[in-house]
Every structure is written in structure tokens, then in C-alpha cells.
Amino acid sequence: MQGCVLDDYSIKNDVQQLYKEYNIMSLNEKLYKKFVNVYKCVKNEITAENIREVYNELFTKYYHNEAVIKAAFIRQILFKSNNSITIFELNSGESRLDLCKVNGKSVAYEIKTELDTLDRLDKQVNDYQRLFDEVYVICPISKCQEVEKVIPLECGIYVYEEKNDKLIFKVYKNVQKSEKIDVEYQLSTITLEFLRKVVKDNSLTRGECIEICKKKYKKSTINTLYKRYLKIKYSDRWNFLKDNNEKILDIDYQWFFKNNISPTCIYK
């Protein structure tokens, strides 16, 4: 936000507390009051009218958590990918994938920030390789060598670093196509309604639909079917976010993807 000067405050010590208390559904006046409670004194440039932009600036500049990294990566990389959709927080077995891009191929992105440990990374990546054509880990440049020791050879790495108050992403390690795709696992994540449309029989159980698909279709066809399912299910949500992204604050990307409510109804 232009003109919002915050350098006089002990920002870094308090911004995490402010983030924990942030709620997109809060009225501007309530957000402003919380801000005053944390920082005590407030400059004239900061008002209830622009308090959401102030929060967004604080978090994106001083608190690089998953939501901030996710939004920056979407703006810099994924919005520029044509004919694709992106999905937030997709359940993948026992893991929950941070981001997934689907066009002709499916690409999984797992984010590990400075605030995260790598304790579950190996398990997460292996779960994703059963579902997606390619898997990347997104991490700060300071963690890339540590990440590389944990992940499988075919997994790629994006690194990020801050330059001139902006997060910059680049490929550190090239990705290779997953050889671990499990079509039965893919089919198990698809809704029964969609599976019945595929087999053209509304009386069958999930298990029966899966067995028919496995017998009738090649693995490559089932992989394509899985990607088509994801695009059909999530394209409207993604297109809404993409069409309205200039009206949506970075910290709220995931909420608007999930809810698809006009930003003017929320930011009032």
C-alpha cells in the first residue's frame, strides 16, 4: 500500500500476534482496534478505511508464512500459466497439498517456509507422486540443500528470496515426471457421482466403478480422467480468483478461492 509508513514500530515482534487474530470477516473498525492494541500509537496514514491494506502490507513484508508465500507464488508464477487451473489445499491421502496446477499435466506444490520443519516432507511428497505428474517443493533459498537431501530424485525445487521488498521465485532443481502414479489411488479420490458418469451406470458402488475403470482404461487414460475431474470441479473457483485478483488482498486468496464471494461484499 502506498504511503503506509510503519518503520517506527517494533513490527517484527508483534506481527505474528496480529496475524493470529486476523479474521477476514471482521469489520474494519474491529481490525483497526486490534492494530491499535498491538502497536499502541498509530500514524495518521493508518485509518479504519485502509486497515486491511495495512494488514496485508505487514504480513507480506514481515511475516513470510505459508499464506504469504502461496499468494506471492500464484501472482508471480501461476497467474501467468495459460489454460490451467490452480487448486488450494487439496486432500491427497494422509497429506494436504498446498497448491496444485492442472492443464495438460498435473503439478503439485508443497510449501516449506522458514517457519516449517521438514519432518513430514518425505511422506508428503510420496503421497503427491502417487497422484500428480510432477511434484515441486517451494522453500526459501536457505533451506534448499536441506530439502534436496529429503526429497526423491525426481522431485523439483523452487526457491524464493526477498529482493527490494519483493519475493522472487526461481527453479533451483528441475523436476522429472513421477513414475509412481497409482491409478487406483487417483480413482479413489474422485466422487462417486463422477465415476458413475464415466461408467454410465448410476446403480454401481464406488468399488464397482473403480474396478470397471481399471479393466476398461489404460493407466494413461485414467490419469487424464483424474485431471479432467479436477478441472471440472475447481475451474469455476480458480477463474473467480483470477478474474478478481486485483480486488483481493494477498492474505485472503485462499478464502476467496473457497468461497467465491464478491470482494466488494467483504471489503466494505
**Helical packing angle, 51-62 and 66-76, nearest 10°:** 90
- pLDDT at residue 19, rounded to an integer: 92
- pLDDT at residue 41, rounded to an integer: 66
Instruction: List the domains of the chain with CATH numbers.
Output: 1-63 (no CATH), 67-179 (3.40.1350)
CA distance 113 to 99: 14
Residue entry with cell 486491511: 52
CA distance 23 to 38: 15
- Structural contact between residues 237 and 222, judged by C-beta atoms closer than 8 angstroms: no
- pLDDT at residue 37, rounded to an integer: 86
CA distance 210 to 90: 21
CA distance 208 to 201: 10
Could you read off the pLDDT tens digit of each residue along the chain, which spans 268 residues? 344 445 444 677 789 889 999 999 999 999 999 998 887 766 778 899 999 999 999 999 999 999 999 999 999 999 998 899 999 999 988 889 999 999 999 999 999 999 999 999 999 999 999 999 999 999 999 999 999 999 999 999 999 999 988 999 999 999 999 999 999 999 999 999 999 999 999 999 999 999 999 999 999 999 999 999 999 999 999 999 999 999 999 999 999 999 999 999 999 8
- pLDDT at residue 1, rounded to an integer: 39
3-state secondary structure of 160: strand
CA distance 150 to 120: 10
- pLDDT at residue 40, rounded to an integer: 73
**Residue 125: is it exposed, middle or buried by C-beta count within 10 angstroms (0-12/13-18/19+)?**
buried
Backbone conformation region of residue 85, classed left if phi is above 0, alpha if psi is from -120 to 50, else beta: beta
Strand partners, 111: 138
3-state secondary structure of 88: strand
Going by the DSSP 8-state scheme, the letter that residue 163 receives in this structure is E
Residue entry with cell 487414460: 221
- pLDDT at residue 5, rounded to an integer: 44
> DSSP labels for 169-222?
EEEEE-----S---HHHHHHTS-HHHHHHHHT-TT--HHHHHHHHHHHS-HHHH
Residue 213: Cβ within 10 Å count = 20
- pLDDT at residue 148, rounded to an integer: 97
- pLDDT at residue 178, rounded to an integer: 97
